[in-house]
């Protein structure tokens, strides 16, 4: 029977030979080891032999219960014998080579690094030092260094830096010893303080002595030397030292030499090392200048071009691309000022903030009727002359001005609200009830008794309308707390009055002349429309004087003479599309491609508003187009008989009427006084029946675009650089030429394009206009193009985008509308564009426009497209346009759909800074009768408060709202049930001025209105002030809404989702401690999004977040939750791109899906009504389990949002450094997100960039 083995801790056998030797060594420690040197040598040699020959011996020494490492290190520290020291170093080298990660960690934790440094210092003092000992020491240090976080500090404090440097200098010809020395220097240099110290000791110069031209010898040594040099050159001090010594030229010559001689690409790492050195030197301005002076752009451009065919050389191409882009001279935008091209003088300027700063700058934009013929002497966007690394600094950018931000972990946690007092909603109306009583007029449904109303079913809809709408006050309300404002002057539709001055310049009306109210009246708009070739049935309405003696514009019957005048004015040519003689027209209509448009309307070529003098007429291309600036246009071949064939889309677009749209435009006030109507808004949009999938990203597309940009510097003679459109030349923005250029236009409602510059024959740089009274927010675009050649591919570059990433990198395409397609029966916006990408460019952002931050750059959104029709006019847009005039037209058409069972009231909430009315809708079901019970049920319905379009560029919010409004006005049983369940108060467009003037985010005040809810100014933010006042009034009368939802669009995420407010989920995301009473809250806030996730295919519950953040405390969602006490207060975000889950996975979103989302929101409210019944508590239990199920995910995630990134990590990352597959993570990567190398997708990572929103 075997004798049982004695064991030490954790099962290590006590009779193990290696452990017995370690025990013997332990007993020898101290003086005994110094006395008995020979025994020490023998024992350590035996241990080394066992570990070298028996794998189990090493495991026994490093096992968790063993004290073997302590014994070995103690012996190493106490011995003075060189051979014993070498034996122990051999033992350590053998142990740390296997299972390197954990074993090295143990070695470091036991103080091994410090002991090695002590021996290094001691040995270096001997003359001559033992070469073998130095070799083993540095080999071991090279293994340990990368795993020891304090390695650099320990080396510096112990004096090991100089010891290694001196050894290196003495052994430049000793390759065997030089290699481990360089490996250790490479680790030393990763510490920035060490790098500077080493630079002072001449190590940079030393490395350049080691780095030699192409040779097949000692390539490993050369690779390590380049790595060390690259690490040293990260220090700006060392980079300057290298530049001063002329090493930039040396590096370029070496790179050329290796590039030409390494024909079989076996030494790519050496070539990459040389590029990394150049990359780090060019982080400083001096290095970039030296690079340019040494012809570095041309050298890297041509070498990279030669590397392109070989896929494995992508790291070289990408690093070269990064260097060239960095060294590309920083330019200003080609503008006289970065302020908007249009100027609107505010009634008063805020004391502080960006708008105040803007007004302190020299006037840049032009006032109405004011020319800006010469550039300003004082430029407000000069390139910052700093020596900072623009790439590194700029890419840590993290905008914090909306819900859409993709934050890094630290910022996300810091932004979470941690003040429990702020996390508990407290109803705080904020204003005395006496001030708020004026808003009672907007809630007549709460006091209406319906006496005298005939509830017979035969009653017509128009009677219902006149019974309730005609008696409502239509004037803007007077703000009790502010100085009484004079009534706003709203011009009638005449030649003289349509040229509206700005509000500040508008003369007050004469007391003796009744002033018409805004066109958004309460009576249904039976307009006496413009006489076109299509006859309209006209219905006269009685003049209904409003209580303040204003006359509603829509109720006036236009005199025949005035109508004839407008008809004559409309005969002016704007953009003559496909003009033919009247006899040649197909009067039977067009029916193609599944678009059943079976009738046509013939009108004189459009579309000038009656009597308004235009700055531009014409601007089209081809032989059939109008003439140049300032002319009245030329008669085409057809003469007076020329007409435009317009598809009658009434069957497919019941809420669209082109004539009514033109009429609506006449009552719309814009700062530039737009006198043109864009064809897409006139014709309307019918959603295509075919699917539009997310566009697959072509490999190398971004790299090819960047190289084309670099070619501008390499081959300047190929560049045309001709301005073809410029809003800063107000008298004639369209620059005429010989027909070799495209023609552009953006002078229509919601249009945005400031400048177009032809760079090559078929390539154009486009500059977007800033929001009015701002110097940034460039994202929304909407412009017209004409004069194109069929079949030619054009490239368009929007060069002043600001966000650090875009869904254009993830499958989103731009939208295009073809007028030729429209008149052929297919009036629709379609997704278009190839080679789409979004990347950082060489145009510098001023610190003025970047919140004081220096070194920022703009981004380019580039796409290519071709055109299918000759003499076409095409429009491009960021997303499906939805103008303010479109809203007014839709509301007027919706009023016509009213049935006797629908209670619809349309009020004017207020007037905006620009003189546009802000409509407020009330929709519910009529009471069954005027009995007390029915009236009581009618008045006591819960309220739902909806708003949209506070950000003008988020047009998808309006399409969702359109779906909601159409459903609410529909005849389906669900719609009827919904109206019977709730009273809806809806502000469909919170920022009419921003929408009209083509802003992306701001109102005319130059501020984001969704950051003004805490303390809105009645003059600067009237729509927010009065909307909040409505909610405050409801809170005062104990009728706060059951649900508040603000519709938005999201530019960086896919799907539709919600942001809400929860104390519990906010606390879970932060580190604050809270009691159970602090966390007590009704989970009903999750019910509505949960329902939506079940019924709406585009909705994603996983993307929802209910965290309250400090940066969002002045948004509608948080203020309504905190101050009004609405638990179900939401922002509903709709993607601008598409979906990555559900029924629409892989598809771009369209107006059909957006309108469907608006309708599904209504259905969800109906389900919510049923769920929140008195006896139904099961849904709360379901929500409890649902939220508990997500708690672990929330706690484990340091980010604010449940789903922070749109894309899985293995998809192509969008890396501005264009060096995604580099093993050295670039500091240029956005938000510190490191590129994740996935073996299956490595080949896709070569040319891209790593990646706002209440």
DSSP assigned state of 30 = T
Phi, psi (rounded to 5 degrees) for 1058:
-125, 150
Peptide bond between residue 607 and the one before it cis (omega within 30 degrees of 0): yes
DSSP assigned state of 1123 = I
Cβ atoms 819, 679 nearer than 8 A: yes
Round to whole Å and give the CA distance between 1028 and 578. 49
DSSP assigned state of 595 = B
**Whether 645 is catalytic:** no
Q: Give 835's contacts (C-beta < 8 A, 6+ positions apart).
A: 698, 701, 704, 705, 795, 862, 863, 864
Cβ atoms 89, 140 nearer than 8 A: yes
DSSP assigned state of 548 = T
Which residue, among 1065, 1198, 1057, 1054, has the nearest Cα to 1121 in the 3D structure? Answer: 1065
Cβ atoms 1171, 1086 nearer than 8 A: no
Chain-centre distance for alpha carbon 755: 22
- Tokens 């009534």, residue located: 487
Which residue, among 685, 687, 626, has the nearest Cα to 661 in the 3D structure? Answer: 685
Helices (H), 189-284: 192-200, 203-210, 219-232, 236-244, 247-261, 268-281
Round to whole Å and give the CA distance between 590 and 585. 11
Cβ atoms 824, 675 nearer than 8 A: no
Round to whole Å and give the CA distance between 649 and 653. 6
Phi, psi (rounded to 5 degrees) for 1101:
-65, -35
Strand order in the sheet with 782-786: 743-745, 782-786, 873-877, 814-818, 829-832
Helix (H) or strand (E) holding 27: helix 17-28
Helices (H), 694-803: 701-714
Chain-centre distance for alpha carbon 821: 31
Phi, psi (rounded to 5 degrees) for 645:
-80, 115
Q: Which three-class secondary structure string do you get for 858-907?
A: EEEEEEEEEECCCCCEEEEECCCCCCHHHHHHHHHHHHHCCCCCEEEEEE
Please, what is the Cα angle at 633 between 631 and 636, to 5 degrees? 155
Q: Give 1117's contacts (C-beta < 8 A, 6+ positions apart).
A: 1044, 1046, 1059, 1060, 1061, 1129, 1130, 1131, 1254
Q: Catalytic residue among 1133, 1226, 1230, 1249, which?
A: 1133
The tokens for 1111 are: 């940066």
Round to whole Å and give the CA distance between 1215 and 1235. 8
| CB atoms near residue 551 (< 10 Å) | 18
Which residue, among 127, 138, 132, has the nearest Cα to 168 in the 3D structure? Answer: 138
Round to whole Å and give the CA distance between 766 and 757. 6
Round to whole Å and give the CA distance between 198 and 207. 11
DSSP assigned state of 576 = -
Round to whole Å and give the CA distance between 518 and 492. 9
Residues designated as active site: 1133
């Amino acid at each position: 029977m075997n004798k049982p083995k004695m064991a030490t801790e954790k099962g290590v056998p006590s009779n193990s030979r290696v452990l017995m030797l370690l025990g013997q060594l332990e007993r020898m420690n101290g003086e005994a080891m110094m006395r008995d040197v020979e025994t020490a040598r023998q024992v350590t040699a035996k241990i080394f032999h066992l570990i070298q020959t028996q794998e189990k011996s090493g495991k026994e020494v490093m096992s968790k219960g063993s004290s073997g490492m302590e014994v070995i290190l103690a012996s190493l520290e106490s011995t003075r014998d060189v051979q014993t020291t070498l034996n122990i170093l051999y033992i350590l080298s053998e142990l740390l080579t296997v299972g390197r990660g954990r074993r090295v960690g143990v070695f470091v934790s036991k103080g091994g690094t410090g002991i090695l440094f002590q021996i290094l210092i001691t040995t270096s003092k001997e003359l001559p030092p033992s070469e073998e000992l130095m070799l083993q020491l540095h080999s071991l240090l090279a293994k340990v260094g990368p795993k020891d976080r304090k390695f650099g500090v320990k080396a510096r404090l112990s004096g090991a830096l100089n010891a290694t440097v001196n050894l290196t200098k003495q052994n430049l010809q000793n390759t065997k010893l030089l290699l481990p020395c360089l490996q250790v220097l490479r680790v030393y240099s990763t510490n920035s303080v060490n790098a500077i110290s080493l630079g002072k000791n001449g190590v940079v110069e030393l490395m350049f002595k080691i780095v030699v031209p192409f040779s097949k010898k000692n390539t490993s040594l050369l690779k390590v030397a380049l790595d060390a040099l690259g690490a040293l050159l990260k220090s700006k001090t060392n980079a300057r030292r290298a530049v001063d010594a002329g090493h930039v030229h040396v590096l370029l010559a070496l790179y050329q030499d290796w590039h030409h001689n390494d024909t079989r690409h076996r030494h790519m790492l050496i070539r990459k090392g040389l590029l990394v050195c150049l990359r780090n030197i060019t982080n400083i301005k001096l290095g970039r200048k030296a690079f340019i002076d040494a012809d570095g752009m041309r050298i890297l451009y041509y070498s990279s071009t030669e590397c392109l065919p070989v896929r494995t050389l992508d790291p070289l191409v990408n690093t070269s691309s990064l260097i060239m882009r960095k060294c590309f001279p920083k330019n200003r935008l080609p503008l006289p000022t970065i302020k908007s091209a249009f100027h609107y003088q505010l009634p008063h300027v805020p004391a502080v903030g960006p708008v105040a700063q803007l007004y302190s700058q020299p006037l840049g934009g032009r006032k109405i009727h004011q020319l800006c013929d010469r550039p300003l002497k004082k430029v407000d966007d000069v390139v910052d002359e700093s020596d900072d690394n623009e790439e590194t600094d700029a890419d840590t950018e993290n905008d914090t001005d909306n819900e859409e931000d993709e934050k890094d972990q630290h910022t996300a946690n810091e932004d979470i609200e941690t003040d429990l007092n702020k996390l508990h909603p407290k109803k705080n109306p904020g204003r005395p009830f006496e001030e708020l009583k004026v808003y009672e007029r907007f809630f007549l449904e709460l006091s209406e008794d319906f006496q005298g109303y005939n509830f017979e079913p035969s009653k017509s809809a128009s009677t219902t309308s006149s019974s309730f709408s005609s008696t409502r006050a239509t004037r803007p309300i007077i703000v009790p707390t502010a100085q009484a404002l004079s009534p706003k002057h709203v011009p009638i539709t005449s030649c003289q009055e349509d040229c509206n001055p700005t509000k500040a310049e508008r003369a007050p009306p004469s007391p003796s002349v009744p002033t018409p109210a805004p066109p958004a009246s309460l009576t249904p708009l039976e307009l006496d429309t413009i006489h076109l070739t299509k006859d309209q049935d006209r219905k006269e309405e009685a003049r209904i004087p409003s209580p303040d003696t204003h006359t509603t514009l829509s109720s006036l019957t236009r005199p025949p003479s005035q109508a004839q005048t407008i008809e004559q004015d409309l005969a002016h040519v704007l953009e003559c599309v496909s003009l033919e003689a009247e006899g040649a027209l197909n009067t039977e209509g067009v029916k193609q491609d599944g678009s059943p448009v079976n009738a046509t309307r013939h009108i004189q070529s459009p579309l000038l508003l009656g009597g308004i003098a235009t700055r531009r007429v014409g601007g089209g291309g081809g032989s059939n187009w109008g003439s140049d600036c300032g002319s009245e246009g030329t008669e085409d071949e057809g003469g007076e008989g020329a007409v435009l064939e317009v598809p009658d889309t009434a069957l497919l677009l019941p809420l669209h009427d082109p004539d009514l749209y033109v009429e609506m435009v006449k009552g719309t006030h814009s700062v530039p006084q737009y006198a043109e109507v864009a064809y897409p808004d006139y014709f309307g949009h019918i959603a295509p029946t075919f699917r539009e999938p997310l566009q697959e990203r072509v490999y190398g597309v971004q790299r090819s675009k960047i190289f084309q940009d670099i070619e501008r510097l390499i081959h300047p003679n190929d560049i045309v650089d001709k301005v073809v459109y410029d809003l800063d030349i107000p008298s004639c923005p369209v620059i005429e030429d010989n027909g070799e250029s495209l023609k552009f236009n953006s002078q229509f409602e919601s249009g945005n394009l400031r400048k177009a510059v032809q760079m090559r024959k078929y390539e154009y740089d486009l500059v977007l206009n800033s929001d009015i009274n701002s110097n940034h927010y460039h994202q929304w675009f909407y412009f017209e193009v004409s004069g194109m050649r069929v079949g030619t591919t054009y490239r368009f570059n929007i060069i002043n985008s600001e966000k650090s990433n875009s869904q254009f990198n993830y499958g989103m395409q731009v939208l295009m509308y073809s007028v030729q397609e429209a008149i052929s029966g297919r009036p629709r916006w379609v997704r278009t564009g190839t080679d789409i990408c979004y990347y950082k460019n060489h145009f510098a952002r001023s610190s003025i426009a970047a919140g004081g931050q220096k070194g920022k750059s703009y981004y380019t959104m580039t796409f290519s497209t071709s055109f299918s029709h000759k003499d076409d006019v095409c429009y491009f847009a960021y997303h499906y346009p939805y103008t303010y005039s479109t809203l007014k037209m839709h509301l007027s058409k919706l009023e016509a759909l009213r049935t006797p069972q629908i209670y619809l009231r349309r009020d004017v909430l207020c007037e905006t800074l620009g003189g546009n009315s802000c409509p407020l809708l009330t929709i519910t079901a009529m009471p069954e009768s005027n009995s007390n019970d029915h009236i009581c049920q009618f008045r006591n319905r819960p309220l739902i408060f909806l708003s949209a379009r506070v950000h003008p560029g988020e047009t998808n919010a309006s399409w969702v709202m359109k779906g909601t409004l159409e459903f609410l006005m529909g005849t389906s049983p669900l719609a009827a049930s919904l109206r019977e369940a709730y009273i809806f108060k809806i502000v469909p467009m919170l920022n009419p001025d921003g929408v009209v003037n083509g802003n992306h985010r701001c109102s005319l005040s130059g501020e984001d209105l969704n950051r003004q809810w805490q303390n809105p100014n009645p003059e600067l933010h009237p729509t927010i002030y009065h909307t909040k006042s409505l909610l405050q009034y409801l809170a005062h009368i104990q009728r706060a809404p059951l649900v508040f939802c603000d519709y938005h669009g999201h530019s960086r995420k896919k799907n539709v989702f919600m942001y809400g407010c929860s104390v519990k989920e906010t606390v879970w995301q932060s580190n604050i401690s809270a009691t159970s009473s602090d966390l007590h809250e009704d989970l009903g806030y999750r019910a509505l999004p949960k329902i939506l996730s079940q019924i709406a295919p585009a909705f994603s519950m996983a993307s929802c977040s209910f965290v309250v953040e400090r940066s969002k405390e002045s948004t509608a969602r948080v203020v309504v939750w905190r101050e009004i006490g609405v638990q179900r207060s939401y922002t509903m975000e709709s993607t601008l791109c598409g979906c990555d889950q559900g029924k629409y996975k892989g598809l771009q979103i369209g107006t059909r899906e957006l309108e469907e989302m608006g309708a599904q929101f209504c259905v969800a409210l109906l389900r919510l009504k049923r769920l929140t019944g008195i006896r139904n508590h099961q849904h709360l239990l379901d929500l409890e389990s649902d939220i508990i199920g997500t708690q672990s995910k929330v706690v484990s995630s340091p980010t604010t949002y449940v789903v922070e990134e749109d894309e899985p990590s293995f998809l192509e990352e969008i890396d501005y450094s264009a060096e995604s597959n580099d093993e050295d993570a670039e500091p240029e990567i956005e938000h510190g997100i490191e590129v994740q190398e996935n073996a299956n997708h490595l080949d896709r990572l070569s040319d891209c960039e790593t990646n706002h929103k209440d």
